[in-house]
Structure 1
Amino acid sequence: MPLLLSQLIEAFRWMGALAVVGLHATNLFLNQADIMSAPHAAPVYLWWFLTGFESGHQAVVGFFVLSGYLVGGAVLSRMREPKPFLKDYYLHRFTRVYVVLIPTLLLTLLLDFFGRRLFLSSEIYSGAMFEGHFTSSLLFASLLNLQGIYFQFFGTNGPLWSLACEFWYYITFPLLLIFFAKNYSMQFRTVGFILGLLLFIFLLAPESWFGFGFILWGMGAFATLAPRALLPSRFFSLMLLVSVLILIRLLVRGSAVEAHPLISRGADLLAAGTFVNLLLAFRDGPNEGFQILKSDWHRICADFSFSLYAVHMPLLIFMRAASDQVFGAGWVLQLAEFQNYVLAMSVIGLTILSAFLFSRVSEARTAQLRRRLREIVT
């Protein structure tokens, strides 16, 4: 992979995770109901713009596209190699997911357990959002990555629905295309394809994001086969993506989406397409320029972005319950003032720090766990 493309991907990974954290922190800690009816300082409007629903949602769309580009693209490449690859591929995918998922579910269990018992003044855990979510059956379903598809999410960790979708894309994608892998026998390919098709139909049956997400993921995967970007200029490709995201943030919300629900799907496809074009433009371009992408901070932050996405919600809920206990349940619900923004920024900072520490015992050990499993398997 070209160095500059790798650096672009690292930058997107941490900025996308931060966008999702910002969205959820704002929803939990800031009441901006008067954003359009009362004057505010410029930073307040900027905060509102950057942390809106579509900002976080389009970050998730980008994660799907990027996952398809990196993982699905690698599958397409390895299918053309003259040797079997599925065992090594699935070992990589399982370790990548479960080295984070299992500790995440344990942390969610602990935070929810203590939060529900320590912060009795808060109603956040007993609200409708999490009613019935603290069960062992949902914990087991999440271990199987079925949350958001066949089951509700476990505890307070709603964002894990996207991980479930991606996990099953990892499983089914190579099986659905296994006939193109000539290094396997026809019998193996036939059985693999049937298994992949049955799994895909099974996962597609309930109403969820699995099907549409697979389209976005597939866009990223098959983009790796494209000979060139439609818009080859890296600068103009970046400006196009930014412009599309700004328009989506301003126009795809509220009454417009309620009146025309398909607008949201169209916006997702448009954003995904412009992001794919940007990836291809950086893939084919020179490694010069874009000095802002060459900072080591992008790699450092990207290295725990998966952990940040995975654990941020139970951390935020725990801190929201704590703030209700300390300041009173109604304090966070008041129209946001300076002190509310200070609290929100502090909470985001603590969440990032906690995710980094969490990653040291989870995400950072991916390669180590992968080596051990490879020794066991071989």
Structure 2
Amino acid sequence: MPNYKTAQMKLLRTISYLQNTSWVLGSHRRISSSASEQIDSWRGASALAVVVAHAQQIFVAPLYSGAYPIFGLASQFAVMVFFALSGFLICKSATRNFRDNSRFDLREYAVDRLNRILPPFVFSLVFLALLCFVSPYVFPSGTSVFIEAGSFMARHELDVTALQMFGALFFVNGFLTETPPANGALWSLPYEVWYYFAFGLMLAVRGRLGLVLAAGFMLALGMRNNGFILLSMVWASGALVAVLHNNNLINAYYAKWVTFVFGVIALMFAGSYLVRFYGGEPVANYPRSVVLWSAFSGVSFCGVLALVVNGAMKGRALFGRTARFSYTLYLSHYPLLLFIYGVSQQGIMHDLVLSFVVAIVSALGCVVFASVVAGYVENYRLLKARPKETAAAR
């Protein structure tokens, strides 16, 4: 029989470690080049999966909705891969910050995050506003409204309100304002930004107080959006993998069990969603099944991530180049797909095969567009990093 007292002591010891900022940050270990390539490939593949899923939902689903839930689940899982990798990479960045500065430099952490997030994000908002402005001049309806094409239209118009833009700009969409429907992909960005903030708060205010403040902040936002708390387990699991890797504590046996157990639970929620969808229930009746699928499938992926960074699992990195523009692709593809749909809708709305072809071409167009734009926006730095102090200056 298992020794429950020993297990309880290990749990309490781990919790006490997590309250110790020096333990969380004190070790930094680089991942191997093969693991780094695999992570880049996952990022690229996830961005492509989201684009393909949205192209199917926008162009094909109005004429054939049978595959709608499959692509929806795939898209949600792809976003969870982003969440898990984000938690892992941000934690790795924080431990490198601590190693290089002999302390956690909050300013460096904030500048790094803002430089990464803001240029592509601001571009996506300007791009969204431009497409909304142009749409009435090129859409067959003469307005920003699409021609009505059934109950499975992804959106009914390409438009955005000032309040929606304001909420997105300050990362409060989903909490205080509605996410702009014309760029539904923006729903996940506030989640990640506030995960970054809570993690930075926990590390900047050292010890138990930092953990309490971060937890209180998360709970306050969770009261506005329950999904924010539930999906934080994916981001936190990715960060935990980083801490375990830094301290050489990854156990392949347990990682496999995490992958299996959480994967099975995720599939149960996915099955519930599919049964209810194909049983004819309205889509709005079961969002919780989708959120639970997302959370558990994301943690299951973290088990795979642990195996890869620990060298226990290897795979071919097929989509590494796409990672260079994956963030721009994620933020910009949705309004561009809607715009192309609005322009072409009159010619394809009664032809399933043609809609499928246009969906593929449009998705490829989004990839090409993002690859060009990313060369400018993903390398642009709004804020300058503080010059490093020399050892003598310290």
Contact 2:270 2:293 in 1 (8 A): no
1:104 is aligned to: 124
Q: Which residue in the other structure is 2:88 paired with?
A: 69
Alignment deviations for residues 245-286 of structure 1 (CA, whole Å, 9 cap, x no partner): 888766642507978765444433432232111111111117
Unpaired runs of 5+ residues, structure 1, are: 37-47, 182-188
RMSD: 3.8
- 5 Å-filtered alignment, 1:271-350, equals 271-285=297-311, 290=315, 292-293=316-317, 298-325=319-346, 327=347, 331-332=348-349, 334=350, 336-337=352-353, 339-350=354-365
CA contact (8 A) 1:119 1:321 kept: yes
**Residue 317 of structure 1 aligns to which amino acid in structure 2?**
L
CA 1:17–1:136 in 2, change beyond 3 Å: closer, same or farther?
same
Instruction: For residue 172 of structure 2, give the secondary structure of its aligned residue in structure 1.
Output: coil
CA deviation profile, 1:60-111 (whole Å, cap 9, x unmatched)? 1111111111113443665687323211001000111101111110011101
Asked if 1:362 corresponds to 2:377, the answer is yes
CA pair 347-249 structure 1, distance change in 2 beyond 3 A: farther
In structure 1, which of residues 203, 211, 216 is the aligned counterpart of residue 234 of structure 2? 216
Q: Distance in 1 between matches of 2:376 and 2:286?
A: 45
Question: What TM-score, normalized to structure 1?
Answer: 0.76
CA-to-aligned-CA distance 1:3-51 (integer Å, 9 cap, x gap): 1211111111111111111111111111476676xxxxxxxxxxx4996
- Deviation at residue 54 of structure 1 after TM alignment: 0.4
CA contact (8 A) 2:185 2:334 kept: yes
Say if 1:254 and 1:19 are closer, same or farther in 2 by CA, change over 3 A: farther
Partner Cα distance (2:263, 2:198) in 1? 32
Structure 2 unaligned spans of 5+: 1-30, 149-153, 390-394
Equivalent pair of 2:125/2:165 in contact (CA under 8 Å) = yes
Relative distance call for 1:35 and 1:154 in structure 2 (3 A) is closer
Q: Give the Cα–Cα distance (whole angstroms) in 2 for the partners of residues 255 and 199 of structure 1.
A: 35
CA distance in 2, matches of 1:375, 1:85: 10
| Aligned counterparts of 1:317 and 1:49: Cα–Cα separation in 2 | 17
Question: Partner of 1:228 in structure 2?
Answer: 250
Alignment correspondent of 2:39:
9
Residue number among 352, 359, 367 corresponding to 2:367 in the alignment = 352
Paired amino acid for 1:218:
A
Q: Which residue of 2 aligns with 1:171?
A: 197
Which residue of structure 2 aligns with residue 83 of structure 1? 103
AA of the residue aligned to 2:173: Q
Q: Is the 8 A contact 1:64 1:217 kept in 2?
A: yes
Residue 306 of structure 1, CA deviation: 0.4
Partner amino acid for 2:58? L
Q: Structure 1 residues 263 and 303, CA, compared in 2 at 3 Å: closer, same or farther? A: same
Q: How much does 1:242 deviate?
A: 9.2
- Residues 139-154 of structure 1 correspond to what in structure 2 (within 5 A)? 139-154=165-180
Aligned partners of 1:149 and 1:208 also within 8 Å = no
Q: Are the equivalent residues in 2 in contact too, given 1:32–1:335 (CA < 8 A)? A: no
1:26 maps to 56
Whether the 8 Å contact between 1:52 and 1:249 is mirrored in structure 2 is no
Contact residue 72 and residue 218 of structure 1 kept, 8 A: no
Instruction: Show the counterpart of 1:206.
Output: 224
Supply the distance in 2 between the matched residues of 1:153 and 1:89 (Cα, whole angstroms): 27
